[in-house]
């Protein structure tokens, strides 16, 4: 039982990060009907931005909470700028091209970012700044939760709530929902579609960077190719939950994280990806729009 | 066709004609070296290259071999088996290499060794320990011991020196090296009276090991054998301590990296690893090597650097005895190596083309691994 609870904690921590990345996929899909394959690499760049901020702050500053907040905010801002540029200079000029062109461009951006990072930062794993010294904050029998793990979950919840607030209670959020619902009609109603699309990329990229900082704090090694696996898994999570749906992305991310942990914990690490994708296939067979997916409601 | 196109075409044609010509013109015999110089195994490749470079410098400053200086050409395989094959093909075809040195990770050496065997160019791996590297490949050799011995060393160390009764094994299922060591440990430790209480694995690209370690924690082992490579081992060690697992970790030469202690952030303090040699040895050959290495690279040579150095010298020694640079003759002389006094011990190449040597056990200290004991091959 204790082992199961611990595995559940591990799964929720990892799943929260998936959820944060999946949100970016799902929002961009909701607005543009584009699967942004470069999203995992925006996540990776977020980790590197955080790394260099940590380096600039110096070892002593990175051990403070203030340093941590600075690193997190800086990484989110850096990735947001990157996401903005990718949309503005690559996807937008292609917006009237066939959808396939956009998809290929996304794969191109993804490869570009990966190899740019390898060239620029080197391919050896870098040690991520430890701005929060690891401590156990909760212990019950042998079930433990460290402050770093707790931080992943807490920050994820806060960012999730923040996103809900933006999407449902602000005018830009209303515009996002309108564009997602019917792009042409929204444009006719005077909504600046371009601004909405830019904003969506900024938001999604910032969330990916937050996930990168939280995960790298927990597993402090960063690599140019670190975005591929989480990116793919988060994409699956978004599809699983119903792509285009915010709650679906969160649920899908958590489900993926828990499923992966349980497969490794009670099975074999080699089965992990197989079983996770089997779940995806079964869900899509039974409910082709994903768990929460429906063609009209609550798209953002 | 306008002028620019014509020029471009001429350039391409010229480069095609010249490229193979250039390689053959050099009259220095070429030794091709392929290593993981970038990527997750970069520490392996870089330290090995330093050992090779030191030996190369010594060889060439002493009038070379048979009156000729050797030319060493390095290729990066990025720690990828497919790249390793390409690198070796390139070294043989374009550089005209008469012998090949490399790599550290067994997976890469197995892939590239196949190419060397097909082309009948002798290859020496300095430090790949998986048995399959040299199996059924008369042209492939190594100057280190093999996994069955290395796995035996840690099983024996756990049972006889640490006197522990239970062990968990956590290995990298996507690396031949790690699977090989885990298999031997799983066989040997129970024979010595120990009990295996958990068997768990991971994949090289994994970033999170909490579920594997949670499983291991539930089994309450006295030690955990983690025969993986340094970058994952560092993360595993950190995560283990986070989950409150306090027992020592045991590992193999895959832990060898100047950055291991820093990466693991102290989590490996008091753990043990098997290795090929210790720089603290009092043997004159070792002392001389360590001094020369420190003078050149300003750092202490680890076992991979020492094996790179030994592999290079053994190749040079075989070339000298062969009297020429024909790949077939070099191969025969490498096979005939007996009692070569290397820095990693006396090296005799056996009929399976492996070196038979004793292993050392190092204990991870505050800032580096320190010599703990020596374990000899079973009689």
B110-156 pLDDT, tens per residue? Answer: 999 999 999 999 999 999 999 999 999 999 999 999 988 999 999 99
Average confidence (pLDDT) over B300-309: 94
> Is A125 in Cβ contact with B215 (below 8 Å)?
no
Phi-psi region of B339 (alpha: psi -120 to 50; beta: other; left: phi over 0): left
- Torsion, Cα A11 A12 A18 A24, to 10 degrees, reads 170
Q: Is the model's pLDDT at A153 over the cut of 80?
A: yes
Q: Is residue A120 part of a domain?
A: yes
User: Of residues A187 and B22, which shows the higher confidence score?
Assistant: A187
What is the predicted pLDDT for the residue at B20? 47
Q: Which strands make up the sheet holding B97-101, listed edge to edge? A: B71-76, B30-35, B97-101, B123-125, B140-142
For residue B304, give how far its alpha carbon lies from the nearest alpha carbon of chain A (Å). 18
Q: Is the model's pLDDT at A294 over the cut of 70?
A: no
B273 half-sphere exposure, CB direction, 13 A CA radius:
28
Q: CB distance from B210 to chain A under 8 Å?
A: yes
> Is B239 in Cβ contact with A219 (below 8 Å)?
yes
Q: How high is the ipTM of this complex?
A: 0.84
Q: What distance in Å separates the CA atoms of residue B235 and residue A270, rounded to the nearest whole number?
A: 19
Q: What are the φ/ψ torsions at residue B139 (nearest 5 degrees)?
A: -95, 0
> Is B262 in Cβ contact with A2 (below 8 Å)?
no
Q: Is residue A156 part of a domain?
A: yes
**What DSSP character marks residue B161?**
I
Q: Which helix (H) or strand (E) holds B233?
A: helix B230-242
Mean pLDDT (chain A) is 89
Look at chain A and report how many structural domains it folds into.
Answer: 1
For chain B, what percent of residues have pLDDT higher than 90?
73
Give residue for tokens 């081992």.
B233
What is the predicted pLDDT for the residue at B22? 45
What is the predicted pLDDT for the residue at B23? 46
Q: CB distance from B63 to chain A under 8 Å?
A: no
Q: Is the model's pLDDT at B213 over the cut of 50?
A: yes
Q: Is the model's pLDDT at A120 over the cut of 60?
A: yes
Q: Is residue A128 part of a domain?
A: yes
Q: What distance in Å separates the CA atoms of residue B310 and residue B52, rounded to the nearest whole number?
A: 8
The structural domains of chain B, ordered by start, are: 10-145+282-348 (3.40.50.2300), 148-275+361-375 (3.40.50.2300)
Considering only CB atoms, A122 lies closest to which of B38, B214, B234, namely: B38
- Beta strands at A221-222 and A136-140: parallel, antiparallel or unpaired: unpaired
Q: What distance in Å separates the CA atoms of residue B122 and residue B97, rounded to the nearest whole number?
A: 10
Range of lowest pLDDT (A63-67, A155-159, A285-289, B187-191) = A63-67
Contact assessment for residue B40 and residue B97, using Cβ atoms and an 8 Å cutoff: no
Q: What is the pLDDT of residues A71-98, one digit of tens each?
A: 999 999 999 999 999 999 999 999 888 8
Identify all chain A residues contacting B209, using CB atoms and an 8 Å cutoff: 219
Q: Is the model's pLDDT at B93 over the cut of 90?
A: yes
Mean pLDDT (chain B) is 90
User: Of residues A170 and B377, which shows the higher confidence score?
Assistant: A170
> Is A265 in Cβ contact with B215 (below 8 Å)?
yes
What is the predicted pLDDT for the residue at A95? 85
Q: Is the model's pLDDT at B9 over the cut of 70?
A: no
> Is A2 in Cβ contact with B244 (below 8 Å)?
no
What is the predicted pLDDT for the residue at B10? 57
Contact assessment for residue B156 and residue B174, using Cβ atoms and an 8 Å cutoff: no
Residue spans of alpha helices (H) in chain A? 2-32, 39-57, 59-62, 65-86, 99-121, 147-169, 171-181, 183-188, 193-218, 228-241, 246-266, 272-286
**What number of residues does chain B have?**
379
Q: Is residue A23 part of a domain?
A: yes
User: Of residues B379 and B95, which shows the higher confidence score?
Assistant: B95
Q: Which helix (H) or strand (E) holds B273?
A: strand B272-275
> Is A270 in Cβ contact with B173 (below 8 Å)?
yes
User: Of residues A283 and A209, which shows the higher confidence score?
Assistant: A209
Average confidence (pLDDT) over A156-169: 91
Q: What is the pLDDT of residues B233-292, one digit of tens each?
A: 999 999 999 898 999 999 999 998 888 998 898 899 999 999 998 888 888 889 999 999
User: Of residues B6 and A147, which shows the higher confidence score?
Assistant: A147
User: Of residues A6 and B2, which shows the higher confidence score?
Assistant: A6
Longest dimension (CA), chain B: 82
Q: Is the model's pLDDT at A66 over the cut of 90?
A: no
Average confidence (pLDDT) over A240-248: 86
Q: CB distance from B200 to chain A under 8 Å?
A: yes
Q: What distance in Å separates the CA atoms of residue B295 and residue B57, rounded to the nearest whole number?
A: 13
- Domain span at residue A198? 13-132+146-226
**What DSSP character marks residue A225?**
T
Identify all chain A residues contacting B235, using CB atoms and an 8 Å cutoff: 219-221
Q: Is residue A300 part of a domain?
A: no
Average confidence (pLDDT) over B62-83: 91
What is the predicted pLDDT for the residue at B221? 96
Q: Is the model's pLDDT at A285 over the cut of 50?
A: yes
Q: E-assigned strands of B44-164? A: 71-76, 97-101, 123-125, 140-142
Q: What distance in Å separates the CA atoms of residue B228 and residue B181, rounded to the nearest whole number?
A: 9
Give the A-side interface with B, CB within 8 Å: 2-3, 6-7, 10-11, 13-14, 118, 122-125, 127, 130, 134, 136, 142, 144, 146, 148, 215, 218-221, 223, 225-226, 229-230, 260-262, 264-266, 268-270, 272
Average confidence (pLDDT) over B351-370: 90
Q: Is residue A186 part of a domain?
A: yes
Contact assessment for residue A79 and residue A46, using Cβ atoms and an 8 Å cutoff: yes
- Beta strands at B97-101 and B30-35: parallel, antiparallel or unpaired: parallel
Contact assessment for residue A148 and residue A133, using Cβ atoms and an 8 Å cutoff: no
What is the predicted pLDDT for the residue at A185? 92
Give residue for tokens 């077939």.
B328
């Amino acid at each position: 039982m204790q082992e199961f609870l611990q595995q559940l904690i591990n799964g929720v921590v990892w799943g929260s990060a998936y959820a944060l990345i999946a949100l970016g996929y799902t929002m961009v899909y909701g607005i543009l009907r584009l699967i942004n394959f470069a999203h995992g690499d925006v996540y990776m760049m977020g980790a590197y931005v955080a790394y260099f901020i940590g380096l600039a702050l110096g070892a002593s500053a990175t051990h403070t909470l203030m340093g941590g907040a600075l690193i997190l905010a800086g990484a989110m801002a850096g990735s947001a700028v990157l996401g903005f540029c990718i949309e503005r200079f690559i996807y937008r000029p292609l917006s009237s091209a066939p959808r396939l062109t956009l998809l290929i461009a996304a794969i191109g951006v993804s490869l570009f970012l990966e190899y740019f990072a390898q060239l620029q930062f080197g391919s050896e794993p870098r040690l991520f700044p430890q701005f929060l010294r690891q401590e156990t904050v909760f212990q019950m029998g042998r079930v433990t939760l460290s402050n770093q793990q707790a931080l992943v979950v807490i920050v994820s919840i806060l960012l999730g709530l923040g996103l809900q607030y933006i999407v449902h209670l602000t005018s830009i959020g209303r515009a996002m929902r309108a564009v997602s619902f019917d792009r042409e009609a929204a444009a006719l109603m005077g909504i600046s579609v371009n601004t909405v699309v830019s904003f969506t990329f900024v938001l999604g990229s910032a969330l990916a960077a937050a996930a990168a900082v939280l995960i790298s704090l927990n597993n402090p090694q960063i690599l140019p190719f670190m975005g591929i696996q989480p990116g793919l898994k988060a994409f699956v999570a978004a599809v699983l939950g119903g792509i285009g749906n915010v709650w679906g992305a969160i649920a899908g991310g958590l489900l993926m994280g828990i499923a992966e942990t349980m497969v490794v914990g009670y099975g074999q690490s080699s089965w992990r990806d197989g079983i996770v994708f089997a779940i995806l296939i079964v869900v899509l067979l039974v409910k082709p729009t994903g768990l929460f997916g429906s063609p009209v409601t609550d798209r953002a | 066709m306008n002028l620019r196109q014509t020029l471009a075409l001429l350039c391409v044609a010229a480069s095609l004609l010249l490229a193979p010509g250039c390689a053959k013109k050099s009259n220095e015999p070429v030794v091709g070296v392929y290593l993981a110089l970038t990527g997750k195994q970069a520490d392996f490749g870089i330290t090995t290259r330093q050992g090779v470079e030191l030996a190369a410098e010594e060889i060439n400053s002493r009038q070379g071999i048979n009156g000729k200086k050797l030319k060493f050409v390095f290729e990066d395989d990025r720690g990828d088996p497919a790249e390793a094959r390409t690198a070796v093909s390139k070294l043989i075809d374009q550089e005209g290499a008469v012998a090949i040195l490399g790599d550290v990770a067994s997976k890469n050496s197995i892939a590239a060794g196949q190419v060397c065997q097909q082309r009948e160019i002798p290859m020496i791996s300095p430090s790949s320990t998986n048995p399959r590297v040299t199996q059924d490949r008369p042209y492939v050799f190594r100057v280190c011991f093999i996994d069955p011995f290395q796995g035996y060393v840690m099983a024996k160390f756990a049972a006889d020196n640490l006197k522990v009764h239970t062990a968990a094994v956590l290995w990298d299922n996507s690396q031949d090296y790690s699977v090989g060591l885990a298999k031997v440990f799983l066989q040997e430790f129970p024979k010595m009276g120990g009990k295996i209480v958990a068997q768990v694995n991971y994949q090289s690209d994994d970033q999170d090991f909490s579920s594997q370690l949670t499983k291991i924690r539930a089994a309450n082992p006295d030690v955990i054998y983690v025969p993986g490579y340094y970058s994952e081992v560092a993360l595993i060690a950190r995560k283990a301590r986070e989950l409150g697992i306090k027992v020592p970790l045991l590992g193999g030469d895959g832990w060898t990296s100047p950055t291991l202690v820093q990466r693991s952030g102290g989590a490996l303090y008091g753990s043990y690893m098997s290795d090929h040699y210790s720089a603290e040895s009092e043997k004159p050959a070792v002392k001389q090597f360590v001094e020369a290495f420190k003078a050149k690279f300003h750092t202490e040579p680890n076992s991979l650097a020492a094996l790179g150095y030994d592999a290079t010298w053994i190749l040079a020694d075989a070339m000298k005895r062969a009297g020429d640079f024909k790949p077939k003759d070099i191969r025969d002389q490498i096979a005939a190596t007996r009692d070569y006094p290397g820095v990693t011990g006396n090296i005799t190449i056996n009929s399976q083309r492996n070196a038979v040597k004793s292993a050392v056990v190092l204990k991870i200290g505050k800032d580096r691994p320190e010599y703990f004991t020596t374990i000899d091959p079973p009689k």
